[in-house]
Structure 1
Amino acid sequence: MTELAGTAGYLLEAGLLKRARRSGWWIAGIRDPESIAEHSWRAALTGMVIACLEGADPARTAMLCVLHDTPETRIGDIPKIGKHYLTAIAPEDIAADQTAECPDRVAETIREAVAEFEAGETPEAICAKDADKLECLIQAVEYRHQGVSTVGRWIESSLGALKTDVARELAQEVLGAEPLSWEQTRHNPR
């Protein structure tokens, strides 16, 4: 076993997020909801944008967004209603187990990022948490435009959780936007 075997195992485990679905959307009646990885990808992009506009570190914010749901490989995506009935291990503890066989630098980077996100105190963590909620709102708006009428409470709870002015303003823009309006915009290439 080489020094990187634990890291390889972590990366293989993280791949599960590409197949694991966001379970809260099943409650809303979505037959084939987005995967956790799909959510994390757009949350990272959203977090980068929010951080740019809020004066936080966009790269660190994106990393927090990419890693924030990695503990779900071990416990699944517990919907909000399920959290009232279950007691789950803290994400920081799960990340410690997930990275136990990784080289110290890798393990420390992942563990610190998950802990920072969960604490929600740094400017980057605040932007990342807003990105997590804003991405949920964006997805709900897309589902609503596809004819799903039961996503209103996801939109409202996401709106209520936003902390930064940029995220709140961006949410209002998303709510008023047509999801495919970008397709009608064409600029002349140079």
Structure 2
Amino acid sequence: MGNDPHAGAMSFIFEAGVLKRAARTGWWFAGVKHPESIAEHSFRTALIGMMLAAMEGADPARVSMLCVLHDTQETRITDIPHIAKRYLTAAPNTAVTADQVAACPPAVADVINAAVAEYEAGETLEAVVARDADKLECLVQAVEYRHQGVADVQRWIDSSRAALKTASAHRLADAALTGAPMAWLSPPAPA
């Protein structure tokens, strides 16, 4: 791609497209034959993040951006299941991201690097909310898989729930665990 920063930006865009085909591998352990892709997970994480941000007084746009970028490194290091993390050491996400965007226009690289660093540090309200959105999306996906007949998802529900920090995320988790994923198909009749 040479030194053309637009070509470098397009290279990152093409690379991010791999996330549409890359599976969230941890679900294989639960017996899910065709788990969601990393991009599918990131999309709903961004949606949940926006909603949580509104509930918690954080910046919804910033949270959504952190959520969209939180797993982009997995094009290079894959989605390493938690069991594998006992045996493998991956490069820090901030280092992977820096390599991914090195050929982008400096303004683009700066925005993406800063967002990933903020998410990884987990110190701002936006980062806390984005991390909650990631865990809550995993919990919601587990609930959906359970409703589809996948029996062994409780460990994902329990670990995701235990990681939640914000009150709003806890309330949404309660709603996910007591709700029915397909209830929206039968809305109440208009009054």
TM-score scaled by length of structure 1:
0.97
Match of 1:5 in 2: 7
Spell out the pairing of 1:79-98 with structure 2 (5 A cutoff).
Answer: 79-98=81-100
The CA distance in 2 between the partners of 1:177 and 1:126, in whole Å, is 25
Residue 21 of structure 1 aligns with an amino acid whose one-letter code is A
Q: Classify the secondary structure of the residue corresponding to 1:21.
A: coil
Deviation per residue, 1:118-175 (Å, 9 max, x gap): 1110000000000000000000000000011100000000000000000001000010
SS of corresponding position for 1:112: helix
In structure 2, C-alpha distance between the alignment counterparts of 1:80 and 1:60, rounded to whole Å: 27
CA shift at 1:34, angstroms?
A: 0.1
- Give the C-alpha shift of residue 186 in structure 1: 5.3
Displacement of 1:3: 2.9
Cα root mean square deviation, aligned:
0.9
Residue 182 of structure 1 is matched in structure 2 by 184
Q: What corresponds to 2:136 in structure 1?
A: 134
Could you give the per-residue CA deviations for residues 8-49 of structure 1, whole angstroms, max 9, x where no partner exists?
Answer: 000000000000000000011100000000000000000000
Give the 3-state SS of the residue equivalent to 1:80 in structure 2: coil
Indicate yes or no: 2:46 matched with 1:56: no
What is the identity percentage for the equivalent residue pairs of Structure 1 and Structure 2?
60
- In 1: Cα distance, 2:126 partner to 2:189 partner: 33
5+ unaligned residues in a row in structure 2: which ranges?
A: none
Spell out the pairing of 1:9-20 with structure 2 (5 A cutoff): 9-20=11-22
Q: Which runs of 4+ in 1 moved over 3 A?
A: none
Q: How many residue pairs align between the two structures?
A: 188
| TM-score, normalised by the number of residues in structure 2 | 0.97
